[in-house]
Amino acid sequence: MTTEGPSSTSAERAPGRLVLAATPMGQAGDASARLREALATADVVAAEDTRRTKQLASALDVRIAGRVVSFYDAVETAKAPALVAEVAAGRTVLLVTDAGMPSVSDPGYRLVAACVAEDLPVTCLPGPSAVTTALALSAIPCERFCFDGFPPRKSSARRTWLAQLREEERACVFFEAPHRLADCLADAVAVLGADRRAAVCRELTKTYEEVRRGTLGELAEWAAEGVRGEITVVLAGAAPAGPPAMEQLVAMVDELVDTGLRLKDACAQVTERNGGSKRELYEAVLAARD
């Protein structure tokens, strides 16, 4: 009597996995050992630019054994189902972009979401990131930060976007095309003021890496002469807002009293939210009424 193991059919149906891998921004030597292994062993390599991925593999002395498919923004939605099917069939799909981490202003999000929706394994090989590299080099406080992709291309929309950052206390990182940098910084001066500090990081990790630090006014003047290369900007957060002035607190109390709240209760509520002395606020409200 013999006992059969799992059939080949059931083994073939065991889920594979989607692997997101960060790629070097400029120096092939920044590639991790895990990226090298993944390029050599993945069943399918989905690449934003197949030529650049093959060039990277050549620079790393790695032979890509799997099938290489093109996977860029314009085709992401159309090609995602076929790649999900590959993972569901038990194959390893490696997703790489031209530089940095997939999904971060690069293709990847839709494929990840599609795999998650099918309860298929998704993992990530960490590595280079223009966002964190720029933050580290900026000399700007970045314990808290936000990333905002690319600004709008048109000035009116860009100024509206910048206005949202006027009171943002976190450092903000964003990418910008070199031919739009001067206009973007000029708009930033107009909306945020010339004294807000920032850093413009150009060609990170590459031969001509350059980091310009200063005020928005200084950087706008520098960029007006023209800038080349891939650009990452770090904008300093706004200074924390101080406590409201007594006149503002009095106005808040008056608004609450107008809704029917007792004066003492309104003062208590306002000082609980904004700090300060309930007694001093109560006296200030009475003095304002004299």
pTM for the whole thing? 0.76
Overall CATH class of domain 13-128: alpha beta
3-state secondary structure of 4: coil
Checking phi first, is residue 276 left (phi over 0); if not, alpha (psi -120 to 50) or beta?
A: left
Residues contacting 137, CB < 8 A, separation 6+: 199, 201, 204, 211
Count of residues in the chain: 290
Given this model, what pLDDT does residue 239 score?
86
State the average pLDDT over residues 19-31. Answer: 95
What phi, psi does 209 have (nearest 5°)?
A: -55, 135
Confidence grade of residue 14 (pLDDT, cut at 50, 70, 90): low
Domain ranges of the chain: 13-128, 131-235, 246-289
Overall CATH class of domain 131-235: alpha beta
- Segment 144-164, tens digit of pLDDT: 999 999 999 999 999 999 999
Cβ contact 202:138 at 8 Å: no
- What is the percent of the chain with per-residue pLDDT over 70, rounded to a whole number? 95
Q: Cα–Cα–Cα angle for 127, 65, 27, nearest 5°?
A: 30
- Segment 200-258, tens digit of pLDDT: 999 999 999 999 999 999 999 999 999 999 999 999 999 887 678 888 899 999 999 99
Q: Per residue, what are the HEC states of 247-283?
A: HHHHHHHHHHHHCCCCHHHHHHHHHHHHCCCHHHHHH
Given this model, what pLDDT does residue 258 score?
92
- Segment 105-158, tens digit of pLDDT: 889 999 999 999 999 999 999 999 999 999 999 999 999 999 999 999 999 999
Count the helices and strands in the chain (H runs, E runs). Answer: 12, 10
